[in-house]
A = this chain, B = another copy of it.
């Protein structure tokens, strides 16, 4: 369907008759002198064109007790427990978490702030896809918290997600279009020296107001490939041998949530743990059984003050 003015007009008209007035398609078709099939198609187009928006508002407090317990136990500002629609489906879970995170993020007042965004995180990309903000904000900057990881396809998705988030909240995007993991500190320095945009982004990390952080395991899972702008098997093994059970934006944490310091830190182009800690709000969005230990480390170390996770992970976190 072309999206010119006239077709938008008729789509809107039909959509209002159908959704706002509650008329049946046959009524509309006879009133407008078109076929019912056309009305049906116009309605699909209107959804396509985002003229009709259907949102499912997840009522607060469906899991209020769990959330309060999490907040109390780990000193969180806010905990949100999301019910996964399908426990076996990892990507579905990420969407569910991202949707919930979008609602929570949209409720934050943004004004002259710097928002850190982990664009490689699946659930956070889902956040940016879901977010629908009608309101313009003040001078806000969105800065990527970590360079690229994985294949070129993921770089594109990351860029799009960041841009989209920035667009939605009327912010400026600061990209970190560089490898997230490099082979040596020297390469890292060379990259930083060469590119002013990257320096700008890295500078912005010193003054984060809100951070949307990614939480991950110490494993390599598809579509990530060892060494593809990413740590190798050996490097992960090294981190684990030092006690790491998870990582926050590729900064390793042990079971207690304490930083696992190593030479690996110098290979990462992204936010450091002290920079992260300085952010006023640190929002972690992660769930699923594989990430359990990592999530636990992140909350134990207070690397996030807002956690959005799934029911099962929430229960496991409290089960001890």
Beta-carbon nearest neighbor of A103 in chain B = B134
Kindly name the residue among A13, A85, A95 whose own CB sees the greatest number of chain B CB atoms within 10 A.
A85
> 8 Å CB contacts to B: which residues of A109-148?
109, 134-135
Q: Which of B15, B95, B107 contacts A56 (CB 8 A)?
A: B15
Q: Which residues of B contact A62 (CB under 8 A)?
A: 5, 8-9, 12
A312 at the interface (CB under 8 A from B): no
Q: Which of B16, B20, B85 contacts A21 (CB 8 A)?
A: B85
**Which of A47-55, A153-161, A169-177, A240-248 participates in binding chain B?**
A47-55
Beta-carbon nearest neighbor of A83 in chain B = B13
Kindly name the residue among A50, A52, A54 whose own CB sees the greatest number of chain B CB atoms within 10 A.
A54
A92 at the interface (CB under 8 A from B): yes
A222 at the interface (CB under 8 A from B): no
Q: Which residues of B contact A319 (CB under 8 A)?
A: none
A31 to B85, CA, bound (A): 10
B56 and A12 contacting across the interface, CB-CB below 8 Å? yes
A310 at the interface (CB under 8 A from B): no
B85 and A107 contacting across the interface, CB-CB below 8 Å? no
Q: Which residues of B contact A106 (CB under 8 A)?
A: 134
Q: Which residues of B contact A135 (CB under 8 A)?
A: 107, 109, 135
Q: Which residues of B contact A61 (CB under 8 A)?
A: 5
Kindly name the residue among A5, A16, A53 whose own CB sees the greatest number of chain B CB atoms within 10 A.
A16
A293 at the interface (CB under 8 A from B): no
Beta-carbon nearest neighbor of A46 in chain B = B56
A183 at the interface (CB under 8 A from B): no
> 8 Å CB contacts to B: which residues of A233-282?
none
Within the complex, the shortest CB–CB distance from A315 to chain B, in Å, comes to 15
A20 and B51 contacting across the interface, CB-CB below 8 Å? no
B54 and A54 contacting across the interface, CB-CB below 8 Å? yes
Beta-carbon nearest neighbor of A58 in chain B = B12
> 8 Å CB contacts to B: which residues of A1-46?
5, 8-9, 12-13, 15-17, 19-21, 31, 46
| Chain A to chain B contacts (Cβ below 8 Å), 10 pairs | A5-B62, A12-B62, A16-B99, A19-B56, A51-B57, A52-B54, A52-B55, A53-B54, A53-B57, A106-B134
Which residues of A pack against B, CB within 8 Å?
5, 8-9, 12-13, 15-17, 19-21, 31, 46, 50-59, 61-62, 83, 85-86, 92, 95-96, 99, 106-107, 109, 134-135
